[in-house]
Structure 1
Amino acid sequence: MAKIRDAASAFKTLNGLVCVYKPSCISIPALQHRIVSNLCRDLNALPDRPREQRVEIVGATNEPMNVKIVPNYADDPLVCGPRYIKEDFRCSWATYLGLFSSGVLLLGINDGTKLTYHINIGRPTRAFKVHGQLGKATDTYFWNGKTVERSTYNHVTRVKIDKVVAHMQAAHQKTMFELSGLHMESQTTYELASQGLIRPANSKLPVLYGIKCVYFEPPNFTLEIQSVNEYDKYLWTIIHDLGVQLKTSAYCTGVQCIRHGKFNLEDALLRKHWKLEHIIQNMRDCQQILDANEQMVKQKSAHLM
C-alpha cells in the first residue's frame, strides 16, 4: 500500500488512470462524485502545511511598540473552508457504461484525463458477460421493461444456442468487411486484417468480434461478447434477437464488463476501496499496465473506411 506523508504530497500523486468496479444502478456522474468526495475527505484529514502567520504591531504610538507574530485566521480552515474541494479535481471516463451495466470502468484523474482521451479514441476491445432469460420478451429488451410476450423454451438446448451464436458471430464479421466495400476472399481484405484488429472508422458503429455461450441453465443463460463501440441497449438487443432465432423469446437481465483492453476485474477497485490510499496504489498499478501495453494509448490497428 502506498505510504502517505501529508496532504500536499498525496495531492501531487493524484495524476493518472484509475480502474474501478462500477456497480449497477449507479450512474457514472454519481460514481465520479463519490470518488472525488472521498478524495477530498481523506486529503483534508491528513496533516497539512502549517497555518500562515502575520505580523502584528501593538502598543501606544508615542512609546516603544511591540512586534508579535500571531496566527493568521484568514488561513484557518474553519474560516476559509476545507483545503481541498471537489473543484480542485478533474475526472473523466474512458468508455461509457450504462446505468444498469456494471464492471470495469477506467477513470482519469487530473492529468490522467489525457490518458482516458487517448484510450477513448484508440477504442480497445471490451469483453462483457450479458445475462439473459428465456420465455419472456419486454418492450425495452431489459428486465425492467413491460412484458409484451411469453413463450415456451423447453425445445432450447445448449447445442442450439451455440449454433445460433456462432452464426451471429459470423454474420457480424461478414458485415464488418462489407462495410469497408471489400470482398471477404480478396487480397486487400487479407492485408487489412493482417495489420491488426480491424476497427470501424465510425466510433458510433458497434462491431462484435466474438460471441459465445458460457453458461446455460434454462431459463437462464450467459453470453460472453467481445466488441467495440457497443452500448447497453445494443447488447440487450442481441439477447432479444437470440431469442427470436431460437423460436422463443428472451430478455436481458444484466450486463457486466469483465475486461477493458488489458484491464480486468482483478485490477478494479470495489466501492469499499474508493479511498485515497487504495486509489493512489491502483493508479501506480494502472500505470505499470499502460507502460507494458503502449498500444492502448497509441493504437495501431486497421480501420474500416
Structure 2
Amino acid sequence: MVKFRNAAAAFKALNGLICVYKPACVPIQQIQHTILTNLCRDLNVLPDRPHEKRVEIVGPTNAPMTVKLVPNYADNPLVCGPRYIKEDFRCSWATHLGLFTSGVLLLGINQGTKLTYLINTARLTRAYKIHGQLGKATDTYFWNGKTVEKSTYGHVTREKIDKVVAHMQAAHQKTMFEMSGVHMESQTMFDLAAQGLIRPANNNLPVIYGIKCVYFNSPNITLEIQAINEYDKYLWTIIHDLGVQLKTSAHCTGVQCIRQGKFDLDIALLRKHWQLEYIIDNMDQCRRLMEEHSLILQPKSAILSV
C-alpha cells in the first residue's frame, strides 16, 4: 500500500478512475459525498506544508528597527479551516446505477472525470445478476410495488426456464441484427457481425447480448444478463416477462451489476475501504487494467443505425 509523507503529494496522486461497490438503496450522490468526505479527512490528517510566517517590523521610528518573522495566524487551520474540503475535488460517474441496484460503479476523481466521459461514450457492455421470485406480480415489477396478481408456480422447472431464456436470447439477437437494415443471410451481415458487438446508434435503446439462468430454487431464480443501454426498470421487466412465458407470475427482488467492461467485483472497493490509501491503490490498479486492455484507445465496434 502506498504511503505518503505529506498531504500535497497525496492530493496530486488523486487523478484517475476508481472502481467501488455500490450498496443497494444508497444513491450515487451519497457515495460521492462519503468518498470525498473520507478523502478530505485523511488528507487533513497527513503532515502539511509549514505554516506561513508574517514579517513584523518593531521598534521606534527614530531608531534602528528590528525585523523578525512571527507566526501568521491567518494561515493556521484553526483560523482558516481545513486545508482540503470537498469543493477541491471533482467527481463523476461513468454509468448510472439505480437506487435499488448494487454492484460495480466507476467513479472519476479530478482528471479522471475525463475518463468517465470517454467510458460513457464508448458504451461498454455490463453484466448483471437479476434476482426474482415466482408466484407474485407487482405493479412496478419490483418487490416494493403493490401486489396485482398471485399464481401457482409448482409446474416451473429448470428445463422450462432454460428453454424460455434461450428463446428470449434468440429473439433479442434476431431483433438486434434486423435493426441493422441488412439482409440476415448476406455477406454484409456476416462482415458486420465479425467486427464485434453491434451497438445501437440510439443510446436509449437497450440491447441484450446474452441471458442465462444461473440459479433456481423454487420460487427463487437468478438470471445473468449481458446488456448495453439498460436501466433498472428495464431489467425488472425481464423477470416479469419470464414469469408470463412460464405461465405464472414473477417479480424482481434485486439487481447486482457484476461487471462493467473489464471492471468486475474483484477490484471493487467495499465501503469499509473507501479511504485514501485504498483509493489510490485502486486508482493505480484501474489504470493498469485500462492500459493492459486498451479500453479507451481501442476502435469502436460496429454501430447499428436505427
- Measured against the shorter chain, the TM-score band is over 0.9
Q: Could you say what secondary structure the match of 2:259 adopts?
A: strand
| One-letter amino acid matched to 1:63 | A
Q: Offset at 1:303?
A: 0.6
- Output the CA distance in 2 between the equivalents of 1:294 and 1:114: 16
Q: Offset at 1:258?
A: 0.5
Counterpart in the other structure of 2:259: 259
Q: Offset at 1:64?
A: 2.5
Counterpart in the other structure of 1:122: 122
- Output the CA distance in 1 between the equivalents of 2:205 and 2:168: 17
Report runs of 4+ in structure 1 exceeding 6 Å deviation: none
1:229-248 aligned at under 5 Å gives the runs 229-248=229-248
The answer to whether residue 45 in structure 2 is matched with residue 45 in structure 1 is yes
- Output the CA distance in 1 between the equivalents of 2:146 and 2:26: 22
- Output the CA distance in 2 between the equivalents of 1:82 and 1:194: 56
Q: Offset at 1:67?
A: 1.3
Counterpart in the other structure of 1:59: 59
- Output the CA distance in 2 between the equivalents of 1:296 and 1:219: 42
| One-letter amino acid matched to 1:169 | Q
Q: Could you say what secondary structure the match of 2:295 adopts?
A: helix
Q: Could you say what secondary structure the match of 2:244 adopts?
A: helix
Does the 8 Å CA contact 1:122/1:297 hold for their aligned counterparts? no
Counterpart in the other structure of 2:288: 288
Q: Give me the identity figure in percent.
A: 76
Q: Offset at 1:270?
A: 0.1
Per-residue Cα deviation, 1:11-67 (whole angstroms, up to 9, x for no partner): 000000000000000011111111011101100111000001011011222232221
- Output the CA distance in 1 between the equivalents of 2:175 and 2:193: 14
Distance change (3 Å), C-alpha of 1:211 and 1:296: farther
| One-letter amino acid matched to 2:134 | L
Greater mean deviation of Cα atoms: 288-297 or 31-40: 288-297
TM-score of the aligned structures, taking structure 1 as reference length: 0.98
Does the 8 Å CA contact 1:21/1:270 hold for their aligned counterparts? yes
- Output the CA distance in 1 between the equivalents of 2:88 and 2:76: 18
Q: Could you say what secondary structure the match of 1:63 adopts?
A: coil
Number of equivalent positions:
305
- Output the CA distance in 1 between the equivalents of 2:152 and 2:183: 40
- Output the CA distance in 1 between the equivalents of 2:85 and 2:185: 59
Counterpart in the other structure of 1:144: 144
Distance change (3 Å), C-alpha of 1:124 and 1:299: farther
Q: Could you say what secondary structure the match of 1:33 adopts?
A: helix
- Output the CA distance in 1 between the equivalents of 2:197 and 2:216: 30
- Output the CA distance in 2 between the equivalents of 1:236 and 1:297: 33
- Output the CA distance in 2 between the equivalents of 1:8 and 1:25: 35
Q: Which 5+ residue runs of structure 1 have no aligned equivalent?
A: none
Counterpart in the other structure of 1:31: 31
Does the 8 Å CA contact 1:13/1:280 hold for their aligned counterparts? yes
Aligned-pair RMSD on alpha carbons? Answer: 0.9
Counterpart in the other structure of 2:218: 218
Q: Offset at 1:182?
A: 2.0
1:60-209 aligned at under 5 Å gives the runs 60-209=60-209
Does the 8 Å CA contact 1:290/1:296 hold for their aligned counterparts? yes
Q: Which 5+ residue runs of structure 2 have no aligned equivalent?
A: none
| One-letter amino acid matched to 2:256 | Q
Distance change (3 Å), C-alpha of 1:299 and 1:25: farther
- Output the CA distance in 1 between the equivalents of 2:173 and 2:134: 26
Q: Offset at 1:299?
A: 4.3
| One-letter amino acid matched to 1:173 | Q
Greater mean deviation of Cα atoms: 183-192 or 232-241: 183-192
| One-letter amino acid matched to 2:231 | Y
Greater mean deviation of Cα atoms: 99-108 or 195-204: 195-204
